[in-house]
Structure 1
Amino acid sequence: MTVLLSERSQIFDRADAYAVSEYVNQHVGNHCIRLPPKGRPQASISHRTFSSLDLCRISYGAPVQVTSTALETIYHLQILLQGHCRSASRGKEQIFRAGEVLLINPDDPVDLTYSADCEKFIVKLPVRLFENACLEQHWALPHQGIRFVAERQHLDDMNGFAQLLGLICHEAENAADLEVQTLYERIVAKKLLALLASNVLRVIPRQEEGSGFEAVRQFIEAHLTEDISVEQLMAVSRVSERSLYLMFERNVGLSPRDYTRQRKLERVHAELQKQAARSVTEVALDHGFVHLGRFSEAYRKRFGELPSQTWRRQREPVALGG
């Protein structure tokens, strides 16, 4: 049987449920819980961070209702390991049982009620992970963001996905290097896009369109530490401003400025994850972010945490003997 986090990753065992809930708020996603008025349920949680993913195994030891207005910058992939869960979202109710998978979109209101014997495994995935997977395959990003369709899915029917998660948990508990972690998280995003129904149109541009965009994309990648103007991109692509905007719309669903800004944020994020990274201010300024307050807010919306948190995490000692 696939092991999704062992005792080595345990944070709380038979602990106060509200203490476990507070830990979840700090690491996995903002929510509120409602427990029975009587009794002192004993909750448990195991947790690992793996690149930009958070892996969490949790049980509350009592019937619990979990609510949230929205997850905003992240997706939650939830797998019921035992027990059952009632989901009430956007006027639709579903019951999920052991082995079934629930994926919560960033803008979905959350209203989940878990049985007393329920244990679940959660993977927290940032929005940008799926966006990057689409961009790598030259699929256009939906204007309203990537949304997965709420369909019943059993883990056993997901083409080896359980084994992939087991391998990721093993690597997380054995301190895989950052390059390996990044590779695995990209595989997870691509597998989920392939396995679950979503609003992503898997349309690859015609060759003459894609080749022109590729030249512009390479130019942007080579000049991310510089100010890149629309005029420069017009010169590289040899098209008019209107045609340039249409080219970006067809290929990535973003304007030239938004795409360039997104790639700059991605590069800053990658730099801050390196052990040798300088200060957040220096890295941001190197990539043209002169208004640091606006930069921090854009970074938080993109990655679900402040740049200082990303930078600091690479300097913290590995916990739990991992």
Structure 2
Amino acid sequence: MGIHLLSEKSRIFVNSDPYAVSDYVNQHIGTHNIHWPKSRRLEANLNHSTLGSLELCRISYGGSVRVISPGLETCYHLQVLLKGHCLWSGCGQKHDFAPGELLLINPDERADLTYSEDCEKFILKLPSVVLDRACSESYWNKPSEGVRFTPRHNLQQLNGFINLLGLVCDEAERNKSMPRVQEYYTGLIATKLLEMLDSNVSRDAFSESCPSFERVVQFIDNNIKENIGIERMAELALMSPRSLYTLFEKHAGTTPKNYIRNRKLECVRARLSDPSANVRSVTEVALDYGFFHLGRFAENYRSTYLEHPSDTLRRIKIKGLVP
């Protein structure tokens, strides 16, 4: 493929033990198990980087392996085949993916993948909260069961999307990518997926605009570090607290409290992932955004991003991007 996704700057493993690579993938990309004939010695390679709440990975195992994933509760997996072939089984379907094809695995979907010996793929992990936010910002109707994409797509039919992935990878490998830029690219990826891929989301905007919701969301973003009360938001929306809950359920698919918590978590992750922020500790950032119950904060962060906040910060320090 013409676009190079993740350079040597992101190299984590070179000609390494597949089990070591698999353990790393389980920590950062998604839960899975690998199987291959034990009589063969394989040499696996992995590149990994992050951009905001996105996890980016390029992986090859150096031989034919079978990868079984039970599914992730809160994340989507976008996989682009770069080389070789990959036989996928899931959702009652089977398909032999070739270079230039894209597989989209929804939350909780089991996947059974068999790599060819020369298989190499690019994987992007996207938290569901990012897609939920993209839906609400575009005033698209998100079904109550959550966003669900069809699994198979051809990059040639997704005009410019592979170039966008290349830009995202380049930005992720910059030493000083700014949090606002990271949020922009993250939101752009989510919006483009919703625009270009077949899904259960109705992309027709609501028949009437909702200045009340826009006003409340803007207020939340402007005061994201504060303790924002339901009464204050209801006052801004010119409605009762009960009507405010209905407003958020319609436009964001969640409660006001959960919406604010998810926005705060996004900001914390962007801060921890920013090498120019000179973060001294996770506690410092969590308290700055109003997470005073640190145990509950860590649990929510782990549930959303499938890693501890200290792991996010440690990864930046290990790469030598901050002192």
TM-score, normalization: structure 2? 0.86
CA contact (8 A) 2:248 2:255 kept: yes
Instruction: Say yes or no: does 1:36 pair with 2:74.
Output: no
2:291 counterpart of 1:289: yes
Aligned counterpart, 1:164 = 164
Residues 38-94 of structure 1 deviation map (CA, whole Å, 9 limit, x = unaligned): 221222223333333232222222221101211233221111122222222233222
Give, in whole Å, the separation in 2 of the partners of 1:196 and 1:43.
31
Structure 1 residue aligned with 2:250: 250
Contact 1:78 1:120 in 2 (8 A): yes
- For residues 312 and 24 of structure 2, the distance between their equivalents in structure 1, rounded to whole angstroms, comes to 18
Q: 1:118 to 1:282 in 2, by over 3 A?
A: closer
Cα gap change, 1:281 to 1:140, in 2 (>3 Å) = farther
Which amino acid is the alignment partner of residue 38 of structure 2? Answer: P
Aligned to 1:77: 78
- Report the Cα offset of residue 33 of structure 1: 0.1
Distance 1:146 1:31 in 2: 22
- What residue number does 2:97 align with? 96
**Corresponding position of 1:230:** 230
Indicate the RMSD between aligned Cα atoms, in angstroms: 2.6
Distance in 2 between the 1:252 and 1:165 partners?
A: 26
Distance (Å, rounded) in 1 between the aligned partners of 2:272 and 2:46: 28
| Aligned 8 A contact 2:182 2:270 in 1 | no
Q: Map 1:66-215 onto structure 2 (within 5 A).
A: 66-150=67-151, 152-175=152-175, 177-178=177-178, 179-207=180-208, 210-215=210-215
Q: 2 CA distance for matches of 1:78 and 1:193?
A: 16
What are the ranges of 5 or more consecutive residues in structure 1 without an aligned counterpart?
none
Higher mean displacement: 123-132 or 265-274: 265-274
What displacement does 1:108 show? 0.9
Deviates more, 1:270-279 or 1:60-69: 270-279
Deviations 1:205-242 (A, max 9, x none): 344x5112222223333443443333333322222343
Q: Distance in 2 between matches of 1:126 and 1:44?
A: 25
Q: Which amino acid aligns with 1:169?
A: C
Return the letter of the residue paired with 2:61: Y
- Give the drift of 1:279: 3.8
Distance in 2, Cα, partners of 1:21 & 1:159: 33
Q: Closer, same or farther in 2 for the Cα pair 1:298/1:63, shift >3 Å?
A: same
Q: Residues 236 and 54 (structure 1 numbering): CA distance in 2 closer, same or farther, change over 3 Å?
A: closer
Contact 2:53 2:266 in 1 (8 A): no
- Conserved 8 A contact 1:273-1:311: yes
Query: CA–CA distance in 1 between the matches of 2:219 and 2:8?
Result: 48
- Rounded to whole Å, the distance in 2 between the matches of 1:19 and 1:141 is 39
Contact 2:183 2:270 in 1 (8 A): no
Match of 1:5 in 2: 6
Judge conservation of contact 1:127–1:303 (CA < 8 Å) in 2: no
How far, CA to CA, are the matches of 2:312 and 2:21 in structure 1? 23
- Calculate the TM-score normalised by the size of structure 1: 0.86
CA distance in 1, matches of 2:205, 2:155: 29
Query: Could you give the per-residue CA deviations for residues 239-281 of structure 1, whole angstroms, max 9, x where no partner exists?
Result: 2343222222222122222223323333333444451446433
Distance 2:112 2:133 in 1: 29
Question: Percent identity, aligned pairs only?
Answer: 50
Q: 1:246 to 1:174 in 2, by over 3 A?
A: closer
Q: How far off its partner does 1:102 sit? A: 0.4
* Mapped contact 1:140–1:249 kept (Cα < 8 A): no
Q: What is the match of residue 22 of structure 1?
A: 23
1:146 Cα offset (Å): 1.9
- The DSSP-based 3-state class of the residue aligned with 2:210 is helix
Name the CA shift for 1:23/1:234 in 2 (closer, same or farther; >3 Å). Answer: closer
Provide the C-alpha distance between the structure 2 equivalents of 1:6 and 1:288, rounded to a whole number of angstroms. 37
* 3-state SS of paired residue (1:142): coil
Q: CA deviation at 1:284?
A: 3.0
2:12 & 2:231 partners in 1: Cα distance?
Answer: 53
Q: Secondary structure at the match of 2:310?
A: helix
Q: Among residues 279, 299, 302, which one is paired with 1:300 in the alignment? A: 302
Write the distance in 2 (CA, Å) between the matches of 1:180 and 1:259.
Answer: 21
241 and 206 in structure 1: CA distance in 2 versus 1, 3 angstrom threshold: farther
What code does the residue aligned with 2:37 have? P
Q: Distance in 2 between matches of 1:309 and 1:125?
A: 17
